[in-house]
Chains A and B, each alone.
Chain A
Amino acid sequence: MSGEATIEVTNLHKRFGQTVALDGLSFTVRPGQVTGFVGPNGAGKSTTMRVILGLGSIEQGSALVGGRPYRSLRRPLSHVGSLLDAGALHPSRSGRNHLLWLAHSQGLSARRVDEVVEQAGLQGIARRKAGGYSLGMRQRLGLAAAMLGDPPILLLDEPFNGLDPEGIVWMRDFLRELAGQGRAVFVSSHLMGELQDMADHLVVIGRGRLVTDTSLAELLAAASRGLVRLRTTEPGRATTVLREAGATVAATGPDALTVSGLASQRVVELLGRRGVAFSEVSEQRATLEEAYMELTSAAVEFRAAPAGEAPR
């Protein structure tokens, strides 16, 4: 699959001197989704993004956008919009002029600049010097710059940094809307929580390697391990019935049980057929943060592991 709006990263290897930065990293970013790119600081997220944008060299592997290396794109901003560092501005150039030179580099008009200024909600400050912008304003300006070429792929490095809660909501809604239009939105973050309720897919890396490449739903399901919480006035009978069906049951209170090994529908079905009274059956949902912590504790490599081979 090498659609117009796809990022394909295959077996990336890169080192900075002796330090291995990327170690056989592969993943795919698909259109119509927000793909979260997660990993602790230093995991190689920014390095990967720079490699995708043709800014950093690699020793091995390939990074393709829309099936082509970024550096072969004739008008790159109409293929990929990127925001690497919101602070990458000349402080005495106005935000609008920053967008204007970028637009000129792609043969785009000043009218397009005004469009993205409005889209990013920068009308009031676009003509002021960028040096006076707050970090939140800079993130908006960076997003406006990424939108200049109306690209099918967006690549954003830590776009939530420095945003106030209102800004975070705005950014989330904006990125979701872009994905809804069929664009591939690739967003890095070192905080899993920022991606909850926004990302459809997650690429988790640590020490330059892929930890997991999965949909958000799968990740959460795996982290929840199929735990079902049951509230019943007959915990003894319920335990017997469910154990007969092969489940593991643990008492968590006088009238509360935790069941694993059976889906919640099956639990309801079994108890109903045997006439066991129950007042509540619920699936225990893990938060994304919990799922992430579990993943990262499994892959201890990026906590305190010594350099070298680490378990997958």
Chain B
Amino acid sequence: MSDTTTPYRSGLPNGRAGFAQTLRAEGTKLRTVRGWVIALVVAGLLIVVMAAVATFHRQNTFQASPGSPVVVAHPFVPQGPGGEAVTDTFSFVHRPLAGDGSITVRVGSLTGLLAQSSTSHSTSADAQQATRPGLVPWAKAGLIVKEGTKQGSPYAAIMVTGSHGVRLQYDYTHDVAGSPGTIAAAAPRWLRLSRSGDLLTGYESADGAQWTRVGSARLAGLSETVQAGLFVTSPETRPSAQAFSSPSGSSASAVFDHVDLRGQWPEQSWSGGVVGAGTMTPTLTSGGYHQSDGTFTVSGSGDIAPAVDVGSTPADTLAGMFVGLIVVIVVGALFMTAEYRRGLIRTTLAATPRRGRVLAAKALVLGAATFAVGLVATAIAVPLGEHLLRVNGNYLYPVSVFSSVRVVAGTAGLLALAAIIALAVGTLLRRSAVAIVAVIAAIVLPNVLVITAALPLTASQWLLRLTPAAGLAIQQTLRAYPQVDYVYSPATGYFPLAPWAGFAVLCAYAALALGLAALALRRRDA
């Protein structure tokens, strides 16, 4: 043994081995297994292809009136002042109001009829249908000041309702509650709507003497001359809390008297009519009014509210996401479990002893790759699917640019997070098959159950609050409105959590899984 040996000194230049190098190493690992690269590209292609497949045959036909040709189109859907899709169909007995003024009325009764069988989405002007008495909860009768009789124009209205008491509503999406109670001959309700510039204020009274202010609405840019008067409408109902069930029509009839006009009402007689006749909103009766001795009997059907169940959303083009999710989950799990299977993990950890750094680099590389693939795929799939839907006569809900970007990028984010969760679970379980099955069961299965409406509504909603499937909310572009009775189910595009809240739940799962994986990786022998 010679202790005089000169220990070896390398001639290689000093390099750095920080997080950037670990990232680069993991990037090289991901791109040098051809199967993984192909799988990710295929996942992207599937998302695009499925967008085309899912929308290509979804044809919407529509007949403007009996006898007219059936066309590939959808009935007109008005847009409210905020750009949202609205329903704007009601019986309107009105006069012009050229400036400030008020109108007061007593509503003596509000009764209704319900269709016995469901109506179709046809607008056959007066379908003779069997009816029975009955008033829907959101039947509305009262006073309205509206920019004009054009559908979707700004308005403010004070009204009595079937079972939601007095409300002040304006510009379709706003709803202010007044006092509760129903209308009966023994318990009439007095309403007043006053206009001052663009400010409209609603009042209610039980006796015409003691008045209570319900609320006010500022309708910016309201014209000097507006249409004001009495209105009645009654929305369709759904027989059960079942998504996809056909709605049935209803109508309401109200008796108004003690009409009192103050302010700048030009000398002109009342004119009556139906706003929005011949549009998509199903109506039970054509509506009408009768006036005698200062008593108006007005009946109507329809609604003045945000539109539901009339069109498609960007999420409808993303049916391929589920297949994409499964593929990225497989790749994500294998990115780690393949190393355990061959003992390669020891080489990795010998090269980078800081184990948390290895996991972080893997997660970042995998997340970036799946996000990029997902982004390209959804950025093609959504516009392509929307184009095909439009060509096929479907109505697309108006969606802001921000929301569209959120759906496109958020879906890519869903894919990235699913892959990262699979990576983390793969680290914990170290076995490919078990990890893949577990993650698919946790992420994809609830999504599929929810979207196909295979579960009762409340079960679906809890799944979308508590499981990683909550992240699906990022695709939500519709808003649920309490003033519209509808089955707001995930299957129809309504989620129990707001988009970013749902996404945050998924992020929390990913963070939890990564944290546990880091802990296990650090504590275990490799």
Contacts and interface: CB of A to CB of B under 8 A. Distances in A.
Pairing of A with B: yes
Contact of A75 (B11, B17, B26, B344): B17
Residue among B8, B339, B350 with max Cβ neighbours from chain A (10 Å): B350
Contact of A107 (B15, B27, B29): B15
B33 interface: yes
Residue among A54, A55, A104, A106 with max Cβ neighbours from chain B (10 Å): A104
A62 B203 CA distance: 84
A87 B22 contact: no
A189 interface: no
Contacts of B35: 92
Nearest to A79: B10
A162 to B, nearest CB: 15
Interface string B1-29: 11101111111100111100110111111
A78 B15 CA distance: 9
B8 A54 contact: no
Interface string B206-242: 0000000000000000000000000000000000000
A104 B24 contact: yes
Interface string A76-89: 11101010110111
Interface residues of B, number: 43
B343 interface: yes
B343 A32 contact: no
Interface string A58-98: 00000000000011111111101010110111111110011
A55 B32 contact: no
Contact of B7 (A32, A57, A76, A91): A32
Contacts of B349: 54-55
Interface in B27-59: 27-29, 32-35
Contact of B28 (A50, A54, A97): A97
A interface bracket (residues with beta carbon within 8 Å of B): 35 or more
Given A85-B346, A92-B34, A104-B28, A31 B526 contact: no
Contacts of A50: 346, 525-526
A82 B9 CA distance: 17
Contacts of A73: 353
Contacts of A145: 347
B399 interface: no
A33 interface: yes
A100 interface: yes
A117 to B, nearest CB: 15
B15 A94 contact: no
B344 A89 contact: yes
A105 B351 contact: yes
Contacts of A301: none
B338 interface: yes
Contact of B33 (A74, A90, A104, A149): A90
B338 A106 contact: no
Interface in A21-44: 30-33
B12 A76 contact: no
B1 A30 contact: yes
B8 A105 contact: no
Contacts of A105: 17, 21-22, 24-25, 348, 351-352
